[in-house]
Structure formats: structure tokens, C-alpha cells
Amino acid sequence: MVLLLPVDSFADLDPGFVALRQLGGFFVLRTLRSTPGGGPEAARTGELPTLAESYKISASDDCRNSLTSRVDAVSSRLRTAEPRVAASIAHQGLAARLWSIALGCAVCHGRLPDLDPALLRWDPGAAAPDDLWLTEVRAQPGGADPAPLADTVVRTVVRGHLEPLGEALRDRYGLAPGLLWGNAGSALAGAARELDRWARANDRAEAAARTRALTDALFTHPLLSETGTRAGLAFRRRSCCLYYRVPGGGACGDCCFTQPPRSSPRAASG
């Protein structure tokens, strides 16, 4: 059964968000409480930038921060010389982390922690689950009804993170809004499928049902409803994340293209 307890704090319900670890690496949320006695790891975490700081970046070439560092890291990892492509993949990866954490908490606990960008520190050079740390654990209101819970998820993920993140990447790398929201829709659908897969594999029928109900409610949001077509938890987006432009890349499973388009300078800059 889905765990629903009338508590005021995640610290009382699930210290360190241990329950999320069984869902997979993208769902893990680390906290300073989960580092017994603090220690070097906690001290290092305190030196990392917050996501709020990372979302503040100008379009000038000489302005750099942790967000550009993440894009550079993705560019190096994928061996692509196109910053716009690396920025899109970096955006989708961070969106997937945020959706996964929010959905995991909503389904397992019926509530979300406060994921304010000022409370989340991140390591732009690390991959999940070592990239995000929550510095203060406090719960937001929750409940069994998917509608108000979806409103909380939207306020937390869409307004709190995806809007400022998208604005920063549009200004710096020229990514189109349709591509960015397509990435967000794809990341949401992917997180929902993983959570549903875990629920069914572990005979958690109620968790699977809640995952589907919450995902349906989230996809009614105007910024997400037109990002793709859905059939159950299957999703095909109406935009392309540009992964086909990565050396050795191709069309993703939910891509709007059935096969990778031919690369061209026009496609790279459009």
C-alpha cells in the first residue's frame, strides 16, 4: 500500500528520504540529515551552489556559472561540439531528476518536501543520484486527492524550477520554448513509467494507480498538455531534444521523428 501518514515533517516520516532509494537513482534525494554526523561530505555539500543561483545567468559570453558548467560537462561526455545540443540534453536530465523526486514523494508519501531552488544544492559535474542535496527538510501540504497534489507538484516543479531554468537556457543557448517544454513532458512521462514499473513489480497496485492519476492530472497543465500525445503512460513528443545530433546518437523512443533527420547547419541553428 502507499504510505500515507499524518505528519508535519518528512524528518519524522522518512529521515533522509530512504524510501525513494528503492525507486532508482533518478528518484534519490540526498539530505544533510542522511550524512551521519556531518563530516567531509556534508561540508563539501555546503560549498555547492544552489539551483536558485544556477538559474541566474545572463546571455553574455563572459558570464558563466554552475549551469554552464553542467552544459560543458554534458558536451564533453557526449562528445558534441554544439552547445545548444548539450544544453537541451542537460535540461532534460535535470527535469527528469526534479519530476522523479516530486512524483516519488507524492506517490509514496502523499506529500512533497519544500524543493525551493534556494534549498537545493547541486554538483554540476556529478550525475544522479550524487547531484542534488536538500539542505532543509520541511513538508508541504498533501493528501490522497490527486488534483490538489498535482497543483503542489506544478507549483514546485514547473513554476519553481522549469520556468526559471528554461528562461536561463533560452537566453544563453537559444533553445526554443517548444523544445524545452517537450523535454519537460518527455521527462515527466519517463519518470511516471519508471515509478509505475516499480509499483507493478512490487505488487503496489495503489501506488501504480496513484502514479497514473497524478500523471494524468499533471498533463492537463497548459504548458504540458500540448507537448505530445499520450496513450496510458506511453508518450510521443511533438518536438525533438536534438539527441540525434550527438555523435552516434539517434531518435529517442518518444521522438517526433520515426528516424533521425539528416543533420544540417540550418537544423543546428533553428
Q: Which residues pair with 230 in a beta bridge?
A: 235
Residues 6+ apart with CB under 8 A from 242: 82, 84, 85, 88, 89, 179
- Tell me: cis bond preceding 129? Omega within 30 of 0 counts: yes
Number of domains in the chain: 1
Total-model pTM: 0.88
Contact (Cβ atoms closer than 8 angstroms) between residue 4 and residue 108: no
Indicate whether 47 belongs to any domain. Answer: yes
pLDDT of 8 reads 44
Q: Which amino acid is at 58?
A: S
Residues with pLDDT less than 70, the chain? 1-13, 15, 33-44, 46, 58-62, 142-146, 263-270
Indicate whether 59 belongs to any domain. Answer: no
Indicate whether 123 belongs to any domain. Answer: yes
pLDDT of 139 reads 83
Indicate whether 264 belongs to any domain. Answer: no
Contact (Cβ atoms closer than 8 angstroms) between residue 35 and residue 42: yes
Indicate whether 257 belongs to any domain. Answer: no
Compute the distance between CA of residue 69 and CA of residue 64 in angstroms, rounded to an integer: 8
pLDDT of 239 reads 95
Compute the distance between CA of residue 240 and CA of residue 182 in angstroms, rounded to an integer: 7
Terminal CA-to-CA distance of the chain, rounded, Å?
48
Indicate whether 170 belongs to any domain. Answer: yes
Indicate whether 252 belongs to any domain. Answer: no
**Domain range for 24:** 10-54+65-247
Compute the distance between CA of residue 113 and CA of residue 133 in angstroms, rounded to an integer: 12
Which grid coordinates are listed for 160? 519553481
pLDDT of 140 reads 84
Indicate whether 3 belongs to any domain. Answer: no
pLDDT of 269 reads 37
